[in-house]
Amino acid sequence: MRMLFLGLGFVSYSVASILGGTHEVTVTGRRIPPDHPVKRGYFEGLSRMGVRFERLDPLGEPDRLREIVRPSEVIVNFIGMISGSEGELMRANYEVPRALVRAIQESNPDAFLIHIGAATLGQREKRVVEESPHGAGLEPRTPYERSKLMAEREVLGAPFRKAVLRPTVIYGRANSHVEFVAIYRLARRGIMPRLGLALPAVNVRYLAEVIGALAEERPASDYLYVNECGKVGVTRLFELHCRGLGKRCLGIPAPGPLVSAFLPEGLRPLVRYADYEFTCERTREYVGDPTFVEEDVMENARFLRELDERGELVPERSPAPAILIPGPRILSGQDRV
């Protein structure tokens, strides 16, 4: 199956690594080969697998976007932004998928589109399940949430086959997102904050399985949360990094009011949603039993150490876990737009 992934970074790299063995995958990026040292490693690893690459500015090159979309059977959009000005958020989160929808409609309406959306869209209920009809009970409160919901409506209103995925915090091997680098650096120093906080999360392997299954199924229209059954404690993430590095870490209790101060910057916005429960039922339809994979976190700690030893540990801004409050400008998805 011919698959096109828009954006290059940890998530698209991981999904391409898994699906590239059985499908013909092409990945786009604004800079090919990438300047970023970690993304350059992703590029080189996928190239050795036979994954193809195309340079693309999806908003600045509409003709080229149509040309690249034309031969693809499945198209997955990983591009997005979780923080910035309202204009920047609208450009990355809404205008890119809108341009993609238009390109597919004009040049390849037989394609199937999968859009990587957001888990938090202004839900009123703390028990979060797929709403029906789409958008019912959602009250976006931030420019980010508004831009993400607008994108979902654009995608789901398209006159071709499509699906929207709403992943929670994405983790896995080869993850250089800034929050995991922050955890690694504390673990390397033997420091392990003890935080009474657990977050919804999903292994990138499960996300890849869902994408692969949907690519085969090609529903007319669908949207679902991609999440493991059970939260992961933030202290557990620190513990696993320590174990992966073979370090004996000193546990430092963090009183409730100081939890945010001890969290890596990229995870601090999640405190607001710590008491939300995100469903895993639709994920189970495709994955079976989506449970937390400790070994992948330990392996990722070793991956980060290798980068560190080579002087290539330049954090990648995190793709939207889709649970946030306004903060410093952070890119999401896999590429700048």
The two beta strands, 162-167 and 198-199, are: unpaired
Residue pLDDT, tens place only, 76-130: 999 988 777 899 999 999 999 999 999 999 999 999 999 999 898 988 899 999 9
Kindly report whether the global pTM for this prediction surpasses the value 0.85.
Answer: yes
Cβ neighbors of 282 (< 8 A, separation 6 or more) are 130, 224, 225, 226
Q: Is 211 exposed, middle or buried (0-12, 13-18, 19+ CB in 10 A)?
A: buried
For range 214-227, the mean pLDDT: 98
Which pLDDT band holds residue 270 (cuts at 50, 70, 90)?
A: low
Domains in the chain with CATH codes: 2-169+202-226 (3.40.50.720), 171-201+230-324 (no CATH)
Name 170's Cβ contacts closer than 8 Å, sequence gap at least 6.
10, 11, 201, 202, 203, 204, 207, 319, 321
Q: How confident is the model at residue 330 (pLDDT cuts 50, 70, 90)?
A: very low
- The tens digit of pLDDT for each residue in 159-200 reads 999 999 999 989 999 999 888 998 999 999 999 988 888 989
pLDDT score recorded for residue 82: 74
pLDDT tens figures, 280-314: 999 999 999 999 999 999 999 999 999 999 999 98
